Structure 1
Amino acid sequence: MKLNTKNVFTSAIIPLALCTFQILGSCKHTDKKPNTPTSPNTGKNATQQAVHASDVIPFFEHWNLILGDGSNVGKAVDYENKDFFYTTNDGNSDWVVFKTPNGGDTHGTSNNTRTELAQLKKWYPKTANDKLSATLKVMNVSATGDARVASTHSVVVGQIHSADGHENEPLKIFYKKFPGHTKGSVFWHYEINTAGDDNSGRWDYSSAVWGHDFSVVGDSAKTYPKEPEDGILLGEEFSYQIEVKEGIMNLKFSSDGHETKTFIKNLIESEFTTTADIPEQTQKLFVPIGQDGVERATAYTGEGLFFKLGCYNQTNGKSPEENQNWCSGAETHGGDIQKQYADGNYAEVWFKSGSITISDAAVSNKGYFTKND
């Protein structure tokens, strides 16, 4: 794997233990068809209706569920919502469906809708021994949006989030596919934990797993880059494993027919403490819009971190003039969810399995939800 030489995001084969487990707006676009057929919200037979997400993946007591309307429904044990969170069967396996539109009410300070699990406990990276794994497939990403905006047509399927300080994110796992392409890309981000009290200079660094990284965008609003040869299809299964132990984050990505990829990142010692450390990718994407901060030397040391899992839609209706990386200018139909679902302006992710291991040193994450609900 070719990585920036100023960066120590190293890719190595790391043996991981098997885990047990961001308002609205409107922008016209000519391509409004869903990326792929998905399961309907209604019409499931009686047997399928009787299957809840907690029957498919029995770990929901460890999470609060945030829905695509911004609400926190708490622990999703024996729970479903026909618009955002339910189960389906593809003929071979039961799956948990996480679904959310481009535009609607959001949770916390985010610009983006999500149907996503947020861990009830937080843990500190220096003393952590915490793990998350999941097997999933992405079934839809937004059919509209400005192709020059790096986050358009993407969804985040797993995260590590800080409950403290700036509430930044040392890990976001993305899937992104442009309209007309058969294959999409999987990549992951590290967001710096910005030094000082002003977090406006924060930026992400993106590492490709299969296909492109975040920085590969269209030449115009409606033209797209070359399709990745080694990408992941919509509806194609892949898995991720995350382990944080004694300050070090280990990642593993696997999928049948694709090379298994592993990565290491230090979460308690920064490599981005001076402007000279800002990598070329960041200089291209973030520095031109004023996001040119540096990171505190101790990175995320002393901050409580927690896992997230689900469907965090990265396409929204905000104007790209506000931010060329995060404001997509996509169709939202004024927040009408069913209209967005009808013409492909949503994200949908199915999970088949997942597991979480929580260290004895983890503590309550109630403060995060008090601030953000």
Structure 2
Amino acid sequence: MSDDNSSWTRVLSNQTSSGNTAGFEKYPVTETSARYVRITGEGNSANNWNSILETEILDCTDGTPPPVTPPPSGDLDPNVAPSGNFDLLDWTLSIPVDTDGDGKADTIKENELSASYENNEFFFTAADGGMTFKAPVDGAKTSTNTSYTRSELREMLRRGDTSHSTKGVGKNNWVFSSAPSSDQTAAGGVDGTLDATLKVDHVTTTGSSSQIGRVIVGQIHANDDEPVRIYYRKLPGNSKGAIYIAHEPNGGSDSWYDMIGSRSSSASNPSDGIELGEVFSYQIKVVGNTLTVTIMREGKADVVQEVDMSSSGYDAGGQYMYFKAGVYNQNNTGDANDYVQATFYKVENKHQGYAY
């Protein structure tokens, strides 16, 4: 490495490739301030020949220290399980392990989750009291219909009352106020708001260019589709990440909306993007057929995206909703132990007719 292309500092030496791939192989180097990079080949195990097809230098920054954002709440206790800091009785948790051998990711139900449940690897209290979710590339999935792992909360308005079914228009789920009046009466709530404050700690840095660095941190799930999914994505060559959302109509194809930066796999570093470790907030709000997503950051203007769902089919009878929050890894092509992780400082769900 060199600042002036004259004086050089060696930051990596005596490394050997696997010799059996034309793809990228990763080699961590000592953190160094530099403008120039030089690679000197010193032969292989048989002769003095080397072949390098392409090189990428990852995780470079302009030298500006990452933002130091204090936790937004000083009353979070780092010495208790997540349920000691957050009301988790109206959530279940999915983690990417299969301890009972049923071929699916484990689900921690409401009563167990709210009774000081924690998992040291995938769901735990951070040193600052936040609630941390982690999901590796390789792990158990929730069903045969998904290709990705998750460590994620699923809203359960029944709050542990198992007399209410988890599915269907009933007291466990909510509906839009554009739904038939009979569904609104039967549901556990009408319309909804999810407020979350979080920081993304880590995203995947290996795998396909179309999947690398992306994670879903919040969503509304319906019977079979998702009225909204909020994505955070930071590409390996960028110091800041983008925020974008997807709206999936009932039985239709996704519509995409860039909110901060671009969802492109070749996007340049977003000048107003969000760095790993930077605290931000989001709000998902539905009133009738109007979906509004707002991204909020201290000292910056809110970024708002409104979606008209009047033609999306969710005002039909039988369509029920629930919020989800955590990390839903959107990369299944990276190294097995590569992972996504986020820490939440606030998760609050509200609905008309729901008392909690």
Counterparts of 1:4-19 in structure 2, within 5 Å, are none
Please give the secondary structure, in 1, of the residue aligned with 2:241.
strand
Question: Is the aligned partner of 1:314 residue 2:330?
Answer: yes
* Displacement after TM superposition at 1:246 (Å): 2.3
Aligned to 1:62: 90
Please give the secondary structure, in 2, of the residue aligned with 1:54.
helix
Question: Is the aligned partner of 1:116 residue 2:152?
Answer: yes
Between Structure 1 and Structure 2, the one with more helix by share is 1
Quick one: which of 89, 97, 103 aligns to 2:132? 97
Quick one: which of 303, 306, 328 aligns to 1:264? 306
- Conserved? CA contact 2:247–2:256, under 8 Å: yes
Aligned to 2:119: 81
User: Following the alignment from structure 2 to structure 1, what is the Cα–Cα distance between the partners of residues 295 and 237?
Assistant: 25
- Conserved? CA contact 2:77–2:85, under 8 Å: no
Quick one: which of 196, 200, 222 aligns to 1:134? 196
Counterparts of 1:252-291 in structure 2, within 5 Å, are 252-267=294-309, 269-270=310-311
Percentage of pairs with the same residue = 30
User: Following the alignment from structure 2 to structure 1, what is the Cα–Cα distance between the partners of residues 152 and 242?
Assistant: 21
User: Following the alignment from structure 2 to structure 1, what is the Cα–Cα distance between the partners of residues 218 and 134?
Assistant: 14
Aligned to 1:180: 237
The amino acid across from 1:183 in the alignment is K
1:236-270 per-residue CA deviation (whole Å, 9 max, x = no partner) reads 01101122122322222101243311222233x22
Q: Which runs of 5+ in 1 are unaligned?
A: 1-25, 38-46, 195-201, 219-224, 271-296, 317-328, 333-339, 363-373
Change (3 A) 1:246 1:305: same
Quick one: which of 280, 284, 297 aligns to 1:238? 280
Higher relative contact order (CA 8 A, sep 6+): 1
- Conserved? CA contact 1:28–1:330, under 8 Å: no
Give the TM-score normalised by structure 2.
0.66
Change (3 A) 1:56 1:246: same
Counterparts of 1:213-232 in structure 2, within 5 Å, are 214=263, 216-218=264-266, 225-232=267-274
Counterparts of 1:188-207 in structure 2, within 5 Å, are 188-194=245-251, 202-207=252-257
- Conserved? CA contact 1:29–1:331, under 8 Å: no
* Displacement after TM superposition at 1:226 (Å): 1.5
Quick one: which of 152, 155, 158 aligns to 2:215? 155
User: Following the alignment from structure 1 to structure 2, what is the Cα–Cα distance between the partners of residues 191 and 305?
Assistant: 13
1:51-83 per-residue CA deviation (whole Å, 9 max, x = no partner) reads 1111222x2001110012211011221110011
Q: Which has the larger radius of gyration?
A: 2
Q: Which runs of 5+ in 2 are unaligned?
A: 1-20, 29-57, 61-65, 67-75, 98-104, 157-171, 179-183, 185-189
* Displacement after TM superposition at 1:115 (Å): 0.3
* Displacement after TM superposition at 1:171 (Å): 0.4
* Displacement after TM superposition at 1:298 (Å): 2.9
Please give the secondary structure, in 2, of the residue aligned with 1:156.
strand
Change (3 A) 1:81 1:132: same
Aligned to 1:247: 289
Please give the secondary structure, in 1, of the residue aligned with 2:345.
strand
User: Following the alignment from structure 2 to structure 1, what is the Cα–Cα distance between the partners of residues 313 and 191?
Assistant: 19
Over aligned residues, Cα RMSD in angstroms? Answer: 2.7
User: Following the alignment from structure 1 to structure 2, what is the Cα–Cα distance between the partners of residues 100 and 111?
Assistant: 13
Give the TM-score normalised by structure 1.
0.63
User: Following the alignment from structure 1 to structure 2, what is the Cα–Cα distance between the partners of residues 312 and 208?
Assistant: 19
Please give the secondary structure, in 1, of the residue aligned with 2:108.
coil
Aligned to 2:106: 71
The amino acid across from 1:315 in the alignment is N
1:139-169 per-residue CA deviation (whole Å, 9 max, x = no partner) reads 001010121x1x431010000001x2xx111
1:295-329 per-residue CA deviation (whole Å, 9 max, x = no partner) reads xx63453310110000100011xxxxxxxxxxxx3
Change (3 A) 1:190 1:300: farther
* Displacement after TM superposition at 1:29 (Å): 4.1
Aligned to 1:322: none
User: Following the alignment from structure 1 to structure 2, what is the Cα–Cα distance between the partners of residues 30 and 103?
Assistant: 19
Change (3 A) 1:308 1:300: farther
Number of aligned residues: 254
1:194-239 per-residue CA deviation (whole Å, 9 max, x = no partner) reads 2xxxxxxx43222122111x3x123xxxxxx321111100000110
Change (3 A) 1:49 1:234: closer
The amino acid across from 1:230 in the alignment is D
